[in-house]
Structure 1
């Protein structure tokens, strides 16, 4: 489900009615918990939370004209997704999330490297996503990115 949007409000406005409220709630919980330094934008066709060039001028190694991505939320064809690059780069954070998930949701965890998929949109664990959003500051993300992703690509 590719949405062409110029800003997060435009993205949400284009969603099917049953997806608008869950995406809005995810947006609110992330914005309410994300540490300072990140900015909300449209990134890769999703609502993204990035480290802006003002804080990390080098940008993303795949395309340095883009800010460094960190989190994103998206309405995909069969699920709502939360993407969190910190889970991908920090085994400790991944382990924490996997251990905590059953405390917040009765549904089975459906996860890829950085993608958490919610096929049942009524079972999104908003409180857990809020806590996850607090776990890494922008400066910590830059260090993890440079150590685990950027250095591996060079």
Structure 2
């Protein structure tokens, strides 16, 4: 799979989401979309990131930008995560890993000398035409949402 770069078409997806139903990238066409890929519900950095995006949701909406979080966790886990932390961004479940692989965020990682496959925290800004505008790989959560909002406002 080719690495995604700005200007490339963002791979479409339709995935189940928290609260039931599904969410697809093509249904959001016509407005920019922030896709934030994260490893696991209810872990420290992932919780902070999801809460930061929730806190900034009205700013993104004012800029006409949709938000979608994606992880391999099942919908039931997303539902608990949303309820526990009062999150207000849609969370898509990619248990089959197709979308995570299409975006190149399902990678070999290592911790404490052990290698394993997992999600590399990445944010992708997709423009209104469905093209990738910007990619933030290996995201550090602190101040990240402000940088994404700034880039989104420029679209």
The structure whose residues are more often helix, as a share, is: 1
TM-score (normalizing by structure 1): 0.33
TM-score (normalizing by structure 2): 0.33
The structure whose residues are more often strand, as a share, is: 2
Bigger RCO of structures 1 and 2 (CA < 8 A, at least 6 apart): 2
